[in-house]
Structure 1
Amino acid sequence: MTSPSDTSNTTGTSDTTGTSASTGTSASTGTTGSSGKPLIMLLGMGDLSAKVLTMLLGDPATNRVVLAGRDAEAVRRRGNLALFTATNLGLHGTVDSVHVDLRDVDATADTLARVRPDIIFMGGSLQSWRVITALPKEVFEELDEAQFGPWLPMHLTLNHLLMQAVRGSGIDAKVVNAAFPDAVGPVLDKVGLAPTIGVGNVANIVPALTLGAAHLLDAHPSQVELRLTAQHYFSHYVPRFGDAGKGAYHLAASVRGRPGTAELDHGALFAQLDNRLKRIGGIDGQLLTASSAVRVLKGMAADSGVLAHAPAPGGLPGGYPVRVHRAGGTLDLPAGLDRDEAVRINEECQRADGIDRIDDDGTVHFTAPEMAVMKRLLGYECQSMKLGDASEWANELTLKYAAFAAKFR
């Protein structure tokens, strides 16, 4: 998922529809076809998934797609648009459609068992990160001080339903989550339902850091290789303010042809992202999240082992450098950083994002200062949330935010 300004998301990650829609003709069935290409299902046909779809159809390794959701006609038309655009460029994939309502877990499981996707891209969320950016600038900035953690129920609820359906379907589909994966993944991991891997967030900041490092190291960007361990807060904060704020992180850089780890002035590096390397955010910025997602999806489809950055591989908190294979992402940490320390760093950064800790049963405890912002502005306060109560908290947050936003229309 992605974050309130899309300077770090990607969550991105995550589109706004509750359970989204589908496209195309009648849905194809069966796993990897005779061509060896996997069937990729997209859930949540908002702007992010639409961009992902367009990119997937541009590569023969990923152009066998089925779109799933509630409004089959709307999504069918979206799929046809992408299919026609690809055809105009001489690219010929397939886009099918199937009806899915994630709130009906049993029916979703039956559909998954019939369609048998190899990879599911989850772009659905109860409220997109973009929604609060429509507030007046000063109001948004005040609410943004709550960080992203308190909004977790909006992104956890549908993922929990999806993962229950995947388990009930009996298929071995890999799930790639774009909705606040940094926190959704580790919560669901506590009950054995973590998506395979996330996209966006840590991945969205790496291109700018690579270009900035190349500038400082007098090297071509293609020669620079970064390995960044960081939670969503870091990737949201640095591009907006040019420093790391309260965010813990680990960054290592190397330059091809030069021995050892490159020495970098992190302050000078981060400052570039709020200056010469500042980018547009909002809905246009979703293009970067989409490219982050497709890097992972293509790596899985081709079983390539490509180096990427991704949140929540295997349900871990925060984001990491990974090697992407068919089964998901395996950690590819730099020398001197082990798994336990990487997890500790991300859990520390997670507290800056408003989530204090996650218990072994999936109960989430939120930080007091960030939740105090939500209480003061929205009248919403959730000090701790059991996994089974996420839907109720999401409903309350939806109502409280709607009443708050109505004041500024």
Structure 2
Amino acid sequence: MSPKAAQREKPLIMVVGCGDLGSRLLTMLLQTPETQHVVITGRDEERLTRTANLARFTAANLGLVEEVGVERVDLEDVDATAETLARVRPDIVVMTASLQSWRVITQLPRKHFEALDEAQFGPWLPMHLTLNHQLAKAVRESGTAPLVLNAAFPDAVGPVLDTVGLAPTAGIGNVANIIPALTFGFAIEAGVAPADVRVRLIAQHYFSHYVPRFGDEGNGRYHLSATVNGEPLDDIPHRAVFAHLSGRLRRLGGEAGQLLTASSAMRVVHALAGGGGRTAHAPAPGGLPGGYPVRVDAGGIALDLPADVPLDLAVAINEDCQRADGIDRVDADGTVTFSAREMSVMKELLGYECRTMRLEDSGEWAEELGAKYREFAERVTA
């Protein structure tokens, strides 16, 4: 079912995927008037119904009585997905589905996880690109034009799909997830209130993943600036701020950390839904590689780069950081070349090697990678 037509004066938000992130986001969406018209979609109708009702009842405990639409969607069936989109006509689509969640490898025995984590995230791209490509084709086929936000490795998925004119509006998470901790870190170093600090960060997924774990930037190129009430904090060493993220500002990660991604998504969705303009950070706005500061309002998402950073420099910074994440480049036809060092880890541990991947072959590579990973996981956990 879908929300009643009478409610459509507010935007209809479709959450694609009923996993941990989609469920957390759904609960948040029901908490504000601007974002309460929601339909959640996925393949498992029983799970969808139970998830929708849990979110409804949680909202009811807070004095908010809202309906949640439920639609069965199998992204691998592009035609059927397009028909659903054409019938439901969402204004905003939030994509949370992938063929294998990023956190799956964190469940390996520690030494095996740490060894495989040396491959970084880039080689896992087909697991996140494949379903996004299917959704993008369905949106095009449906004749609708929703704003699309992608949570599945958006830093790389966006630029690949942009080569064929199918990039999501923007991504969520990643660069946005590190901003609160950086803000608190600068506040500590400057001796001011976090509310008075504004941070602007240009960085790819590698940076936002690495800094909270190790307290430095590793091999990731980035551009970071902060102000207090408009005055620059140029005299504060970045390493001093980064050290706080693995120290007093350390946080839970893994599945528990999905709460931060859901709140990053909520910040963007709420502004798009008419909750007022605001600054934010987002990966892949307009299909650009990596993450950027942005401004968001009901009209859409626009870049908000520092005055001293032109767009071509921001893109170059992110492309360089992307190499540290295991992706050497994305060609104009959508072909991805993976970095030799990171792919060598995949070959050694999983017996999987993909040096170049065409967009149309993503599904086949995902199938092979999934099988090789399952064999590895069974072997090391036996």
| Alpha carbons of structure 1 residues 29 and 109: separation in structure 2 relative to 1, 3 Å | farther
Tell me if 1:315 matches 2:287.
Answer: yes
| Equivalent of residue 332 in structure 1, options 279, 304, 307 | 304
Residues 1:284 and 2:259 are matched in the alignment: no
**Alignment counterpart, residue 241 of structure 2, candidates 262, 265, 269:** 269
CA contact (8 A) 1:112 1:171 kept: yes
Q: For each residue in 1:198-252, what CA deviation from the matched residue of structure 2 results, as whole angstroms up to 9, or x when unmatched?
A: 0000001010000000011111000000000000000000011100000000001
Q: How does 1:10-409 map to 2 (within 5 A)?
A: 26-28=1-3, 36-256=9-229, 259-260=231-232, 262-302=234-274, 304-409=276-381
**After the TM superposition, which segments of 4 or more aligned residues of structure 1 sit over 4 Å from their partners?**
none
Task: Return 295-304 or 42-51, whichever deviates more.
Answer: 295-304
Percent identical: 63
Contact 2:284 2:291 in 1 (8 A): yes
Mapped partners of 2:231, 2:33: distance in 1: 37
For normalisation by structure 1, the TM-score amounts to 0.91
Per mean C-alpha deviation after superposition, the further-off stretch among 197-206 and 91-100 is: 91-100
Post-superposition offset of 1:348: 0.2
- Quick one: which amino acid aligns to residue 276 of structure 2? S
Task: Tell me how far 1:326 sits from its aligned partner.
Answer: 2.9
- Cα distance in 2 for partners of 1:137, 1:393 equals 26
Provide the rounded CA distance (Å) in 2 between the counterparts of 1:200 and 1:34.
29
One-letter identity of the residue aligned with 2:307: A
Aligned partner of residue 408 in structure 1, secondary structure: helix
Letter in 2 for 1:241: F
Mean Cα displacement is larger for which, 313-322 or 327-336?
327-336
- Counterpart CA distance in 2 for 1:172 and 1:263 is 46
Which residue number corresponds to residue 17 of structure 1? none
- Larger helix fraction of residues: 2
Residue-pair matches, total: 381
**Aligned amino acid, residue 113 of structure 1:** A
Alignment check: 8 A CA contact 1:239 1:274 kept: yes
Deviation at 1:303, TM superposition (A): 6.1
- The letter of the residue matching 2:78 is V
Q: Secondary structure at the match of 1:68?
A: strand
Alpha-carbon deviations, 1:145-199, whole Å to 9, x = none? 0000000000000000000000000111111100000000000000000011100
Aligned counterparts of 1:150 and 1:314: Cα–Cα separation in 2 = 23
The offset of 1:35, in angstroms, is: 6.1
* Cα 1:333–1:284 shift into 2, 3 Å: same
* 1:22 equivalent in structure 2: none
Q: Is the 8 A contact 2:90 2:146 kept in 1?
A: yes
Confirm or deny: 8 A CA contact 2:105 2:113 kept in the other structure. yes
Distance 2:234 2:276 in 1: 27
Q: Secondary structure at the match of 1:61?
A: helix
> What are the superposed Cα offsets for residues 240-295 of structure 1, whole Å, 9 maximum, x if unpaired?
11000000000010101x63454321011111111111111111111111100100
Residue 88 of structure 1: CA displacement?
1.0
Q: Cα gap change, 1:303/1:317 in structure 2, threshold over 3 Å: closer, same or farther?
A: farther
Cα deviation per residue 1:286-339 (whole Å; 9 max; x = unaligned)? 111110010011011016321001100010000000001234321101120111
RMSD of the alignment, in Å? 1.2
- Could you tell me how far apart the structure 1 residues matched to 2:155 and 2:8 are? 34
Whether the 8 Å CA contact 1:29–1:114 is kept in 2: the answer is no
C-alpha separation between the residues in 2 aligned to 1:290 and 1:391?
27
List alignment gaps of at least 5 residues for structure 2: none
Is this contact kept in 2: 1:109–1:166, CA < 8 A?
A: yes
What letter is aligned with 1:27?
A: S
Mapped to 2, the partners of 1:253 and 1:74 lie a distance apart of 43
The CA distance in 2 between the partners of 1:35 and 1:74, in whole Å, is 26
Give CA-to-partner distance per residue, 1:100-148, whole Å, 9 cap, x none.
1111111111110000000011000000011101111111001000000
Give the partner amino acid of 2:92. Answer: I
Provide TM-score, normalisation by structure 2.
Answer: 0.98
The CA distance in 2 between the partners of 1:99 and 1:282, in whole Å, is: 27
Q: Distance in 1 between matches of 2:223 and 2:195?
A: 21
Q: Whole-Å Cα distance in 1 between the matches of residues 116 and 203 of structure 2?
A: 23
Retained in 1: the 8 A contact 2:112–2:380?
A: no
Encode CA deviations 1:34-58: one digit per residue, 9 max, x unaligned.
5631000011110011110010001
Residue of structure 2 equivalent to 1:21? none
